[in-house]
Amino acid sequence: MENITKDASPKSVNSEQPYRTGYHFQPLKNWMNDPNGPMYYKGVYHFFYQRNPDGATFGHEKMVWGHSVSKDLINWTHLNDAIEPSCIGDSKSCFSGSATILPGEKPLMLYTGIDGKGHQVQNLAMPKNLSDPYLREWEKHPQNPLMTAPSGVEENEFRDPSTAWQGKDGKWRVIIGAQKGDQGKAILYKSEDFVNWIVDPNPFYATDGTGVCECPEFFPVYINSTNGVDTTMENSSVRHVLKISYYRRHLDFYFIGKYASDSDQEKFIPDAKYTETYKDLRFDYGLYYASKSFFDYATNRRILWGWVEEHDSKQDSIDKGWAGLQTIPRKIWLDKSGKQLIQWPIEELEKLRDKQISITGETLLSGSILEVKGVTASQADVEVLFELPDLQSAELLEPSEVDPQILSAEQYASRKGMIGPFGLQVLASKDITEKTTISFRIYRVVDKYICLMISDPSRSSLRQGLTKPIYATVFDIDPNIKTISLRTLIDRSIIESFGDGGRACITSRVYPLLAIEKDAHLYVFNDGNQSVVISQLNAWIMKQAEFATES
Q: Read out DSSP for 388-442? A: P--GGGSEEE-GGG--HHHHTSHHHHTSPPSEEEEEEEEEE-TTSSS-EEEEEEE
- Whether residue 49 lies inside any domain: the answer is yes
Q: Which of 34, 90, 312, 500 is catalytic?
A: 34
* Apex 495 CA angle, 417 and 19, nearest 5: 135
Per-residue CA distances from 551 to 80, 138, 202, 439 (Å): 9, 18, 49, 45
Q: How far apart are CA 183 and CA 211, in angstroms?
A: 5
- Whether residue 338 lies inside any domain: the answer is no
- Examine the domain organization and report whether 318 and 389 are in the same domain: no
- Examine the domain organization and report whether 419 and 514 are in the same domain: yes
The predicted pLDDT at position 264 comes to 79
The predicted pLDDT at position 415 comes to 81
The domain tally of the chain equals 2
The predicted pLDDT at position 11 comes to 42
- Examine the domain organization and report whether 47 and 145 are in the same domain: yes
Using left for φ > 0, alpha for ψ between -120 and 50, and beta otherwise, residue 361 falls in left
Q: State which residues form the domain around 208.
A: 24-327
The predicted pLDDT at position 3 comes to 59
Q: How far apart are CA 455 and CA 438, in angstroms?
A: 4
CATH number at residue 372: 2.60.120.560
- Whether residue 172 lies inside any domain: the answer is yes
DSSP code per residue over 443-491: EEETTEEEEEEEEE-TTS-S-SS-----EEEEEEE-TT--EEEEEEEEE
- Whether residue 539 lies inside any domain: the answer is yes
Instruction: Say how many C-beta atoms besides its own lie within 10 A of residue 62's C-beta.
Output: 16
Q: Which helix (H) or strand (E) holds 314?
A: helix 314-320
- Examine the domain organization and report whether 71 and 142 are in the same domain: yes
- Examine the domain organization and report whether 128 and 170 are in the same domain: yes
- Whether residue 50 lies inside any domain: the answer is yes
Q: What is the pLDDT along the chain (551 residues), one digit of tens a residue?
A: 455 555 544 344 566 899 999 999 999 999 999 999 999 999 999 999 999 999 999 987 899 999 999 999 999 999 999 999 999 999 999 999 999 999 999 999 999 999 999 999 999 999 999 999 999 999 999 999 999 999 999 999 999 999 999 999 999 999 999 999 999 999 999 999 999 999 999 999 999 999 999 999 999 999 999 999 999 999 999 999 999 999 999 999 999 999 999 877 899 999 999 999 999 999 999 999 999 999 999 999 999 999 999 999 999 999 999 999 999 999 999 999 999 999 999 999 999 999 999 999 999 999 999 999 999 999 999 999 999 999 999 999 999 999 999 999 887 877 889 999 999 999 999 999 999 999 999 999 998 999 999 999 999 999 998 999 999 999 999 999 999 999 999 999 999 999 999 999 999 999 999 999 999 999 999 999 999 999 999 999 999 999 999 87
The predicted pLDDT at position 5 comes to 59
- Whether residue 33 lies inside any domain: the answer is yes
The predicted pLDDT at position 8 comes to 42
CATH number at residue 200: 2.115.10.20
Residue 34 annotated to the active site? yes
- Examine the domain organization and report whether 323 and 470 are in the same domain: no
42, 105 in Cβ contact below 8 A? yes
The predicted pLDDT at position 191 comes to 98
The predicted pLDDT at position 10 comes to 37
- Whether residue 466 lies inside any domain: the answer is yes
- Whether residue 9 lies inside any domain: the answer is no
- Examine the domain organization and report whether 310 and 202 are in the same domain: yes
